[in-house]
A and B are shown apart, each in its own frame.
Chain A
Amino acid sequence: MNILAMDTSNQLLGVAIVKDGVTLGEHVMHGHRDHSVRLLPAIEQLMKETKTTPADLDRIVVGQGPGSYTGVRISMATAKTMAWALGIDVIGVSSLEGLAHQGELFSGYVCPFFDARRGQVYTALYASNSDSFEQIDEIVNPLFSDWLEQLREKGERILFLSPDIEMYRSMIIEILGEQAIIPEAAIHYARPSVLAQIGAARKADDLHQIVPNYVRMTEAESNWLKQQEQQK
């Protein structure tokens, strides 16, 4: 099975081609300002180098976010349309899950997160041990300090993974001390081949229905709901 995986939901632009479980190639770039310029050329280049044609593809795995609203739409629009044009399956995988899996050899909790501005993050918690790796609860969008206080209650070791780790390193250590495990740089950047690996085992999504997981409703909608509440 030939899989094309892509994710542009955060700073990283990632594209991978995985054939029968073997990563033929992957392309990872920083610079979230021009994902729209770079994504298709990156796909084209990688396919050329791995001697893969669009017709060879069997499924497309796309990072479903959360992250930048615009960023996640770029890869989602691309993935959906390619899957439709090629008549193949599309599978959405949480971008947090893709990152979390890079900690699957760890024993304890794994906490991937993306900065969501104003002290907030997008995050989820995973329980990892030698024979299983599971997500606990939904993806959430809390104030990171509140979230860290909650994690302290768990009393167990927690591995943190995030491309935004440096922004929050001191806060994590301050609240969790020795309980927090923060590895060195490279592992904080999600590899699109991991996304492909997760998506390989999943059931296909409905091509027309699949949308990004924004986690938050739009500001206009939440303001409108607040207004409706006040008028009651």
Chain B
Amino acid sequence: MKTSELILAIETSCDETAAAVIEGGRIIRSNIVASQIESHKRFGGVVPEIASRHHVEQITLVIEEAIQQAGIQKEELDAIAVTQGPGLIGALLVGVNAAKALAFSIGKPLIGVHHIAGHIYANRLEQEFKFPLLALVVSGGHTELVLMKEHGSFEVIGETRDDAAGEAYDKVARTLQLPYPGGPRIDKLAAEGEQSIDFPRAWLEPESYDFSFSGLKSAVINTLHNAKQKGETFAPADVAASFQASVVDVLVGKTIRAAEAFGAKQVIVAGGVAANRGLRASLEEVFADKQADLLIPPLALCTDNAAMIGAAASILYQQEKFADLSMNAKASMPL
């Protein structure tokens, strides 16, 4: 297998229609994202059917732009990669069928990529991996600690037992009547507030790397509700700061413990919540004097994009792990 292969990657698992061309797993030749955030705003969250409809409208446009910006002809591609899952099934199906159609039409191999593998590999577009590697994956749908001993091998050592961190952010944002998407708003507000409310930290069993955020979410809602009944008010900035402190404490605490227990050489933060400034600052502080190098991708690579899918696909290409034309989209699938 050649090592400077050109992969066109497609990502449509949620509300971004994206295509990218990645060279040799590490060089971004193009990275196109058509965001639908404006269409979903008025509904206060992503509407799956609307997302799917937008994907059909955008799919050939983003593919064409990715090829053009990469400055290549589609015949020069070595493989077509696509997010197979997990995600919104109707949304995934658009990308999967487009990828199959393209691979068949130009006679190139097809590669199915796990969305979370993509988020992790986004970091390899910045810096080469060193194993063992620990990844903290935090997004609207995921909160996981993943241990990697070599390329393409993923061991989930901890995961959320209820809500994902990003979900908790969205729900608390709604309670504070912040507009969608709530996560970034809370992060911004938290920077202006004081940690004046003592919200619980769900550490679970001492040896566990699992997470739980539903208790925290309920605590925030109850605190605000009780205060309202007593005619008291909390400054939204203080609520945001206190809530964020609780989330960040647990995420950072479990990450550092796992990094030390497994002797991680690198600790990677992946997923949309990796853009959170509170989380970044706290991780940077804690890992400053530790053995493991901390890697957090730039903002554009944290949120959903196709470059990360192409980066993860490169490993599967080298391992010749190709999919056939009966590949299907999967709403949930193991990493």
Establish whether residues B93 and A44, one from each chain, have CB atoms under 8 Å apart when the complex forms: no
Q: Contacts A220-B49, A224-B42; is A77 near B326 (CB within 8 Å)?
A: no
Chain B nearest Cβ from A44, distance in angstroms: 6
Q: Mark out the residues of chain B between 208 and 262 whose CB falls within 8 Å of any chain A CB in the assembled complex.
A: none
Which residue in B49, B60, B97, B105 is a CB contact (below 8 Å) of A74? B97
In the bound assembly, the distance between CA atoms of A18 and B107 in angstroms comes to: 22
Q: Contact at A77–B93, with CB atoms within 8 Å?
A: yes
Please report the number of residue pairs spanning A and B whose Cβ atoms sit closer than 8 angstroms. Answer: 110
Which residues 37-70 of B sit at the A interface, judged by CB distance below 8 A? 42-43, 47, 49-50, 52-53, 55-57, 59-61, 63-64
B106 at interface, CB cutoff 8 A: yes
Q: Is B308 positioned at the interface, with any CB of A under 8 Å from its CB? A: no
Contact residues, A80-114 vs B (CB, 8 A) = 80-82, 84-86
A76: chain B residues within 8 A (beta carbon): 56
Bitwise interface map of B from 306 to 335 toward A, beta carbon under 8 Å scored 1, else 0: 000000000000000000111111000000
Q: Which residues of A contact B98 (CB under 8 A)?
A: 77-78, 80-81
User: How would residues 81 to 106 of chain B score, 1 for a CB under 8 Å from any chain A CB and 0 otherwise?
Assistant: 00000000110011111111110111
Q: Does B280 contact A (CB under 8 A)?
A: no
Is A44 within 8 A of B94, CB to CB?
A: no
Q: Closest A residue to B51 by CB, please name it.
A: A218
| B74 within 8 A of partner (CB) | yes
> Would you list which residues of chain A between 189 and 213 have a CB under 8 Å from chain B?
207-209, 211-212
Q: Are B329's CB and A36's CB within 8 A?
A: yes
CB pair A73–B100 under 8 Å, yes or no, is no
Contacts of A38 in B (CB 8 A): 326
Residues of B within 8 Å of A37, CB to CB, are 326-328
Nearest-CB residue, chain B, relative to A219:
B49
8 contacts between A and B (CB under 8 A): A40-B104, A54-B107, A74-B97, A81-B97, A81-B105, A218-B49, A218-B53, A220-B49
Q: B63 touches which one: A81, A209, A211 (CB < 8 A)?
A: A81
Closest B residue by C-beta to A39: B97
Kindly identify which residue among A36, A39, A80, A224 contacts B60, using a CB–CB cutoff of 8 Å: A80
Taken together as a complex, chains A and B put the C-alpha atoms of A37 and B94 apart, in Å, by 13
A76 → B minimal CB distance (Å): 6
A212 — which chain B residues lie within 8 A by C-beta? 56
Is A214 part of the binding interface, using a Cβ–Cβ cutoff of 8 Å?
A: yes
Q: Contact at B328–A85, with CB atoms within 8 Å?
A: no
Q: Which residues of B (104-138) have their CB < 8 Å from a CB of A? A: 104-107
Min CB distance B1 to A, Å, is 23
CB-CB < 8 A to B47: which residues of A? 218, 220
Task: Tell me whether B50 and A78 are in contact (CB under 8 A).
Answer: no
Given contacts A70-B52, A73-B56, A218-B50, contact A36 B63 (CB under 8 A): no
Q: Does A156 lie at the interface of the complex (its beta carbon under 8 Å from any beta carbon of B)?
A: no
Complex: A82 Cα to B52 Cα, angstroms? 19
On chain B, the residues within 8 Å of A78 by CB distance are 97-98, 100-101
A69 in the interface (beta carbon within 8 A) = yes
Q: A73 contacts B90, CB within 8 Å?
A: yes
Contact across chains for B56 and A211 when beta carbons are under 8 A apart = yes
Q: Is the CB of B53 within 8 A of A86?
A: no
Q: Which residue of A lies closest to B99 (CB)?
A: A81
Contacts of B49 in A (CB 8 A): 69, 218-220
